[in-house]
Amino acid sequence: MTQLSLISAATLLILLITLIPLLRTEVWWVRGLDFPRLQFASFAFALLIVQQYCLSLTLSSTWMLMAVTLGCLVYQLWWILPYTRLYPVEVLAADADVVNSSEASINTLTANLLTPNRNARGFLALVQQYSPDIVVTLESDEWWEGQLDSLQDSYPYSLKCPQDNLYGMHVYSRLPLLDATIEYLVEDDVPSMHADVELPSGQRIRAHFLHPAPPSPTENEESTERDAELIMVAKSLEGCRRPTIVTGDLNDVAWSDTTRLFRKISGLLDPRVGRGMFNTYHADHWFVRWPLDHLFHSDHFTVRELKRLPYFGSDHFALYASLQLQGKALDEQDPIQADEDDEAWADEKLAELNVDESDVPVPGQQAL
């Protein structure tokens, strides 16, 4: 195969992996192409350099190949640019005069532990070091529950759902968890947790902890179940004016169409916008990483700190977030808006599995 043929084949490849995700199909391998946009952008950039130095710039075919590659590069960068410091922040930093106040702040540590991982000492050391108000664990089975229960003296409030199918979940909190429930919103063996969190100030925060199953050849062949769970929660939050957080391993990247739809419908903000990607997966491979673990919140909060924590033996890094609850919703923090097409698409996703937002618990309804 000639040099031109190889470069042409590479150009066709980057074009296909750029265009295929535009299809609104939920097949796992198509939706999987949403994840490595940074890697695709890097590939397109490298290919552009190769085209420039290895092909004759006097030929129109060279310029056509370079134009296609440049278009793919720009498109991939458009998706990931908001998750760099080149983009304006979506969530303001907490004022310096309130950073040291804990009465109206909430700190979460969210971690997919990886069930076979047995480095409990390493994980518990992170909890001790960062001392979050709430510890959320995913993929935690009965063995992990035995290790995590050592937290109970400092974290007296908890929700526990140990499972050996990679969807066990635990929440340990030093703050009261009110109206707390464990639900199976879409799949019978995939739990989610829901509660009101009471701050020392007496203010209450609506909280949802999620870990929907991913689209993959070994899990669900389509993203239908994952998407439905995310959109159910989003629609249950639509129009909610209470302080709210949603956190967990959502098995979706921050820049995907589905996550953007979740943000549009729910009205929640992403504190990573303008701050960085905070790639939490895959912890063992630096060259294939993307943000799978998330924290979204309402416009009642500003950011004190957001940090990806050190390696502790899992295939995920833990995500630490410290938020400051303001006295009211901040008008200068604008969520992305849903239009009629977004609303129709959200309804379509729920209709596929015959579920709706009424199945999502609304903790603290008396506070509405």
The answer as to CATH 3.40.50.1390 being correct for domain 105-367 is no
Predicted local distance difference test score (pLDDT) of residue 368: 47
pLDDT over 50 at 245, yes or no: yes
Query: Stretch 158-163: mean pLDDT, rounded?
Result: 98
CB 296 within 8 A of CB 263: yes
213 vs 217, 342, 367, CA distance in Å?
Answer: 12, 23, 31
- DSSP class of residue 188 equals T
List the one residue out of 159, 191, 192 whose CA is nearest residue 175: 159
Query: Stretch 178-202: mean pLDDT, rounded?
Result: 96
Query: Stretch 102-120: mean pLDDT, rounded?
Result: 94
Q: What are the structure tokens assigned to 88, written together?
A: 């304006």
pLDDT over 90 at 298, yes or no: yes
Query: Stretch 69-83: mean pLDDT, rounded?
Result: 98
pLDDT over 90 at 1, yes or no: no
Q: What are the structure tokens assigned to 114, written together?
A: 């990886």
313-365 pLDDT, tens digit each: 999 999 999 999 998 888 889 899 999 999 999 999 999 999 999 999 998 77
Please give the Cα distance from 52 to 236 (Å, whole number).
51
Q: Where are the domains of the chain?
A: 3-83, 105-367
The pLDDT-based confidence of 47 (bands split at 50, 70, 90) is very high
The pLDDT-based confidence of 103 (bands split at 50, 70, 90) is confident
pTM above 0.85, yes or no: yes
Q: What are phi and psi of 327, to 5 degrees?
A: -70, -20
CB 350 within 8 A of CB 344: no
List the one residue out of 123, 185, 188 whose CA is nearest residue 355: 185
